Amino acid sequence: MPEIYSLSSEHEVADFIKNCNSEEVPIEIIGHNSKSIGRLIQCSKSLHLKNLSGIIEYFPEELYIKVKAGIPLALVEIELDKKNQELSFEPPDMGFLYTGQSNKGSVGGAVACNLSGSRRFRAGALRDHILGFRGINGKGEIVKSGGTVVKNVTGYDVSKLITGSYGTLVALTEIVLKVQPKNEESQTLLVSNINLKRALNIFSKSMQTSVEISGACFYPAKMSKFFKLNDLDTTTSITAIRLEGPKISVVERINTLRKLFDEYKKTISVLENYQSRIFWKNTTDLQFFNNSKNIVAKIILPPVHTDQFINKFENEELKYVVDWAGNLIWVEIPENDSVLLRQLRTEVTKLAGHMTIIKAPNHMRIKEDFLTTVDENIKVLSLKIKESFDPKKILNPGKMYSGI
Amino acid sequence: MSTLAMPKIDQSVLNDKDSIVRDLKKFTNSINIISDPEGITPYETDALSAYKQKPMAVVLPENTEEVSDILKYCHKNNIKVVPRGSGTGLSGGALPLADCVLLGLSKFNKILEIDFENRCVVTQPGVTNLSLTKAVEHNGFYYAPDPSSQIACSIGGNIAENSGGVHSLKYGTTTNNVLGVEIVLMDGTIMRFGGKKLESEGYDLLGLITGSEGLLGVLTEVTVKILKKPQSVKALLLGFQSVEDSGQCVSDIISGGIIPAGMEIMDKPLIKATDNYAKAGYPKDVEAILIVELDGTESEVNILIKRVEEIAKKNKSTYLRISKNDEERLRFWLGRKAAFPAIGDMSPDYLCMDGTIPRKKLAEVLKEITKLSQKHGLRVANCFHAGDGNLHPLIMFDSNIKSEMKRAEKFGADILKYCVKVGGVLTGEHGVGIEKRDLMCEMFNDEDIQQQLNIKQAFDEKSLLNPGKVYPILHRCAEGGKMHVHKGDTKFKDIPRF
């Protein structure tokens, strides 16, 4: 078992990492331990940042919040909600996937994994909402980048590089996130009992209009049973499109889409505000794979290839849900089916996409890559970047790729 | 012309000029190599025309392999390379070095694929920003970032600078709208970051190179996302008796949960200047005007217009007009878009600054600018992308009066330092380049800068690609130059600047 160091100030974290660097001791960085993404690594020391918590400043009219990295994400969302604001990239609650219970983890952890919810294709990913950060690099130096303003081209955009780096470049201490007003109304247009191809066609057609959809997902019939919503038929496939904004505008846009998809009028229905919000929260939080005992992976593809990809595996025991208007496929693969896992990965790569394993049993996390094997040149460059922050490779070594 | 410390000239490279030019002809058609003094003159500066330097040679490759071969050769022979798009940059990012090969991307001027199904366009980097929108607008689509120089600036240059525009509060800057690139590193390695898919895994290399000002690699292909045009766009023209009231109105609009497509404030000196110049019909008896543009569905826009109207009244607006049609909306913008030439008409020279500040600090910063204006004895007019906090003070001076250029530069540096002091940044959209290079220490300490230099090393270990830009040489903090316009004679005087 690693020795646990639970530190509560940036200064302590800097000193701790400086010492580990001089002794070349690898450190695993932990926020709230709410996610198990990445390769399983074993370090003799474990740095816990849960106590590095608190809101530093929040100015609703300036549309940003500055927090210490260990603060619970859920707490930040409560504060924003008081001012009728939110993080518009909809950070998912990954706790349901890992343990069956809510646990949104820390802001630092969310940034390190760059996870975004169903609104991602409209509002951007977490990486589009980070304005600045402070953190400690592998030498124990405080590094910072960005600021609190949205328009800033002063120096490299290191905030983006840090986002999704799984703690391999810095231990985050402070984060500035852009915040947005909450939408007054959310409604969801549902089309039941159509296949994926038709669903993707509906997404594509909707995106070619000016109705500004902010959610577009598809559940095959076998996947929708878990929903407990009065107005949702879970006996067939579900194709869902979300519209948000002022109520009058939402209603108007729903009607525009109803007309556009008149051919489905017998199977079209609408989820009103309350149920619509629950529907998308469940989708973003991966409730369909609640406490899964299998391998769960996130597949990103250009949306025109999504149907072809799923077709190829339709005879397999593949459980899947499509989100982000066809750009994202969540899949669950039986734990012992490494053949299927490889086939999926090969096919994804062929179609210019990638697959990231989000949940896997520990024995797999030790030996399997959790990212799609990438271009050798990118690996070489990634290693050089890693070394530019952390020359002795002591921060989460091997978490992303073996050797990085 | 101003002077500025640049990297030491490598005399051995200059001595080998003839053989280098000969060698370069092996990699591309010889007509693509320019080395005669007359031929290279158009490349001696970008839109920061106070600084001029002829390169050793100019090369205009035609495809990715040629770029790779040229870079590989320069890397092997320790020859500096300065990449250049359309040369419309305002911070000197494409300023050549005496011993450099200037690598122009002007021949990369084709749109490669328009993909409405995946809602993206694949293009060569030399294509102009506006031609992307022109290529997709027949289907009701557009490319969102709209820097004022969009008729001339290239999409590759936009990525290098992370260009913004007046709509970035709602639609983001370039970094939020680019999906992928093909890039060639200084050692000739060809790589792809991103693509037609929404995101990539591993380090966000695409995010890192966006806004890296040509220091990390040379772009040879770009994929950007395109958006459907909003159904309806309307604007309000509001007048206030104080800048504070206009600033408070902006804060209240945002606190009220409204994210307009664009919000612009102009102060009294600028209102007067632009109205004389463009006859936009702005109210004359106000201290500040605010243009608010809203987009969405028809009914949504109408609701938002009403809400903004109420907020404006609460903030003591003394003038209010709502655009009845597109023509009137564009007239609201006419004066704002004429700001730069109007100032050029009022003063023999001006410097354009580009700080970003927290919106709530606007009144405070403008007061400080007025004080500084008195201190330096120079006139100033201010326009402000109020939505995103990006402030463009225009400092007026006469370069024929010897001390005025220096005073103007000092004035500009003082403004930027104050922007940083109130929690803002040195540059919102024009880039650091050479212009603000020596002010970087106002925002970053040695460790921050060293970390960024280390990242540069990971891409370009010999520091041959666009050296001397963005990061101070020897970490010296002093005043740099600014965008200097003499007798309205900008390098690209026909393109709008706002």
Task: Flag whether pLDDT at B471 surpasses 90.
Answer: yes
Number of H helices, E strands in chain B: 16, 20
Q: Which amino acid is at A332?
A: E
Q: Give the separation between CA B344 and CA B412, rounded to whole angstroms.
A: 17
Contact A164 B204 (CB under 8 A): yes
Nearest chain B residue to A165 by CA: give it: B203
- Strands A45-48 and A3-6 come out as parallel
CA distance B447 to chain A (A): 7
- Residue A399 has a CB neighbour count (10 Å cut-off) of 22
Q: Tell me what the mean pLDDT of segment B419-427 comes to.
A: 95
How large is the average pLDDT for residues B198-218?
A: 96
Measured in whole angstroms, the distance separating CA B241 from the mean position of its chain's CA atoms is: 31
Helices (H) and strands (E) in chain A, counts: 13, 18
- CB contact under 8 Å between B303 and A209, yes or no, is no
Q: Please check the confidence at residue A106 and state whether its pLDDT lies above 50.
A: yes
Task: Tell me the mean pLDDT in the region B387-406.
Answer: 91
CA separation (Å) from B459 to A383, B183, B214?
Answer: 11, 11, 11
Indicate if A178 and A305 belong to the same structural domain: no
Angle, CA A349 vertex, CA B195 and CA A310 arms, to 5°: 100
Cβ atoms of residues B452 and A155 within 8 Å: yes
Q: What is the pLDDT of residues A18-34, one digit of tens each?
A: 999 999 999 999 999 99
Written as six digits, the tokens of B83 are 């990449």
- Checking if the pLDDT of B482 tops 70, the result is no
Q: Say what the pLDDT of residue B481 is.
A: 38
Q: Looking at CA atoms only, how far is residue A7 from chain B in angstroms? A: 23
CA–CA dist B258, A182 (Å, integer): 10
Residue A242 shares a structural domain with residue A292: no
Please give the structure tokens belonging to residue A78: 């409560």
Across the A:B interface, residue pairs with CB atoms under 8 Å apart total: 250
Alpha-carbon span B271 to B279, nearest angstrom: 10
**Statement: residue B309 has pLDDT above 70:** yes
Other Cβ atoms less than 10 A from the Cβ of A316: the count is 15
- Report CB contact under 8 Å: B304, A246: yes
User: What's CA B75's distance to the chain center, in Å?
Assistant: 29
Q: Is the pLDDT of residue B484 over 70?
A: no
Q: What is the pLDDT of residue B1?
A: 46
Residue A141: list chain B partners with CB under 8 A.
447, 451
Confidence of residue B4 (pLDDT cuts 50, 70, 90): confident
DSSP code per residue over B281-318: ---SS-SEEEEEEEEESHHHHHHHHHHHHHHHHHTTEE
Whole-angstrom Cα Rg for chain B: 23
Structural contact between residues A215 and A273, judged by C-beta atoms closer than 8 angstroms = no
Contacts B425 to A, Cβ<8 Å? 147, 149, 152, 154
Q: Do B454 and A160 touch (CB under 8 A)?
A: no
**CATH code, domain carrying A306:** 3.30.70.260
Residue B48 pLDDT = 87
How much is the average pLDDT of A219-229?
94
- We report the CATH number of the domain holding residue A263 as 3.30.70.2190
- Which residue out of B168, B263, B297 would a mutagenesis test of the A interface target, given it has the greatest number of A Cβ atoms within 10 Å? B297
Chain-chain contact of B164 with A151 (C-beta, under 8 angstroms): yes
Rounded to an integer, what distance in angstroms lies between the CA atom of residue A48 and that of residue A360?
Answer: 23
pLDDT of residue A314: 78
Largest CA distance in chain A: 69
Same-domain pairing of A166 and A255? no
Residues of chain A in contact with residue B231, where contact means CB-CB under 8 angstroms, are 210
Residue B394 near residue B381, CB atoms below 8 Å: yes
Decide if A260 touches B, using CB distance below 8 A.
Answer: no
Q: What is the pLDDT of residues B134-183, one digit of tens each?
A: 999 999 999 999 998 899 999 999 999 999 988 888 999 999 999 999 99
With 70 as the cut, is the pLDDT of residue A397 above it? yes
Query: Which of B165, B181, B63 has its CA nearest to residue B122?
Result: B181
Question: Residue B174 gets which letter from DSSP?
Answer: G
Do residues A135 and A45 share a domain?
yes
At A130 the pLDDT is: 98
Whether residues A327 and B425 touch (CB distance < 8 A) is answered with no
Q: Do residues A231 and A329 both lie within one domain?
A: no
Q: Under an 8 A CB cutoff, do B208 and A156 touch?
A: yes
Examine the domain organization and report whether A390 and A295 are in the same domain: no
pLDDT band at residue B478 using 50, 70 and 90 as cut-offs: very low
Greatest Cα-to-Cα distance within chain B, rounded to the nearest angstrom: 71
pLDDT tens-digit readout, B26-49:
999 999 999 999 999 999 999 888
Residues A331 and A384 in one domain: no
Q: Which of B141, B359, B451, B453 is the best mutation test for A, with the most CBs of A within 10 A?
A: B451
Boundaries of domain holding A2:
1-182+374-404
Please give the average per-residue pLDDT across A132-156, as a whole number.
96
**Contact between chains at B119 and A181 (C-beta distance less than 8 A):** no
Any A CB within 8 A of B421 CB: no
Angle at B60 between CA B57 and CA B61, to 5 degrees: 125
Q: Does B68 touch chain A (CB under 8 A)?
A: no
What are phi and psi for residue B346, nearest 5 degrees? -90, -25
Among the candidates A251, A284, A317, a domain finishes at A284
Q: Name the residue with higher pLDDT: B496 or A9.
A: A9
State the pLDDT confidence band at B486, using cuts at 50, 70 and 90: low
Residues A193 and A311 both lie in one domain: no
Closest partner CB to A153 (pick from B161, B297, B303)? B161
Contact B304 A324 (CB under 8 A): no
B 167-226 residues inside an 8 A Cβ radius of A: 168-169, 172-173, 175-176, 185, 189, 191-193, 195-205, 207-208, 210-212, 216
Q: Scanning every residue of chain B, which has its alpha carbon at the shortest distance from the alpha carbon of A38?
A: B202
Residues of A in contact with B200 (CB under 8 A): 300, 354
Pairing label, strands B141-142, B120-123? unpaired
Across the range B11-22, mean pLDDT stands at 97
Phi, psi of B281 (to 5 degrees): 75, 35
| Chain segment A269-325, per-residue pLDDT in tens | 999 999 999 999 999 999 999 999 999 999 999 999 999 999 999 777 789 999 999
**Cβ separation of B208 and A160 shorter than 8 Å?**
yes
DSSP lists the bridge partners of residue A75 as none
In the structure, what pLDDT confidence band is assigned to residue B491 with cuts at 50, 70 and 90? low
Judging contacts by C-beta atoms under 8 Å, the chain B residues touching residue A152 are: 356, 425, 427-428
For helices B339-346 and B326-337, angle between their N-to-C axes, nearest 10 degrees: 40
From B229, B254, B304, residue closest to A63, measured CB to CB:
B254
Q: Report residue A85 as tokens.
A: 């604001």
Residue A368: per-residue pLDDT = 80
Asked if B89 reaches chain A (Cβ–Cβ under 8 Å), the answer is no
CB-based contact A330:A286 (threshold 8 Å): yes
CB atoms within 10 A of CB A19: 12
Same domain, A74 and A157: yes
Q: Which residue of B has its CA nearest to A208?
A: B228
Domain termination site, one of A268, A284, A300: A284
Burial class (CB within 10 angstroms; exposed 0-12, middle 13-18, buried 19+) of B77: middle
Residues in chain A with CB shorter than 8 Å from the CB of B195 are 302, 352
Domain tally for chain A? 3
Closest-CA residue of chain A to B357: A149
- pLDDT higher than 80, residue B185: yes
Indicate which CATH number applies to the domain containing A23: 3.30.465.10
Q: Closest-CA residue in chain A for B228?
A: A210
Instruction: Please name the residues in contact with A317: beta carbons below 8 A apart, sequence gap of 6 or more.
Output: A334, A337, A340
Taking contacts as CB-CB distances below 8 angstroms, the residues of chain A near B212 are 156-157
Give the contacts of A404 (CB within 8 A, at least 6 positions apart). A168, A379, A382, A383, A386, A393, A397, A398
- How big, in percent rounded to 5, are the helix, strand and coil portions of chain A? 35, 25, 40
List, in order, residues 6 or more apart from B381 with CB less than 8 Å away. B267, B269, B270, B273, B339, B343, B393, B394, B396
CA distance, residue B30 to nearest chain A CA (Å):
31
Q: What mean pLDDT value characterizes chain B?
A: 92
% residues pLDDT > 70 (chain B): 94
Whether residue B303 and residue A246 make contact (CB cut-off 8 A), yes or no, is yes
Residue B2: pLDDT over 60: no
pTM exceeding the 0.80 threshold for the entire prediction: yes
Q: Among all residues of chain A, which has the CA nearest to that of B429?
A: A153
Q: Are B218 and B157 in contact (CB under 8 A)?
A: no
> CA-CA distance, A287 to B289, in Å (whole number)?
50
A64 & A152 share domain: yes
4-43 in chain A: CB under 8 A from chain B: none
pLDDT digits (tens, 9 = 90+) for A334-378: 988 889 999 999 999 999 999 999 999 998 898 888 888 778 999
Nearest to A388 among B140, B161, B458 (CB): B458
* Residues A232, A159 share a domain: no
Scanning B357-386 for CB atoms below 8 A from A yields 357-360, 385
Closest CA to B188 of B467, B462, B455: B462
What pairing do the DSSP bridges indicate for beta strands B100-104 and B57-59?
parallel
Asked if B139 reaches chain A (Cβ–Cβ under 8 Å), the answer is yes
Q: Looking at the structure, do residues A168 and A191 belong to the same domain, yes or no?
A: no
Q: What is the DSSP letter of A262?
A: G
Rg (CA), chain A: 21
For chain B, which domains are there? 11-104 (3.30.43.10), 111-228 (3.30.465.10), 232-337 (3.30.70.3450), 341-486 (3.30.70.2740)
Boundary of a domain, candidates A284, A308, A326: A284
Q: What is the pLDDT of residues B38-88, one digit of tens each?
A: 999 999 999 888 889 999 999 999 999 999 999 999 999 999 999 999 999
2-41 in chain B: CB under 8 A from chain A: none
Smallest CA–CA distance from B248 into chain A, residue = A61
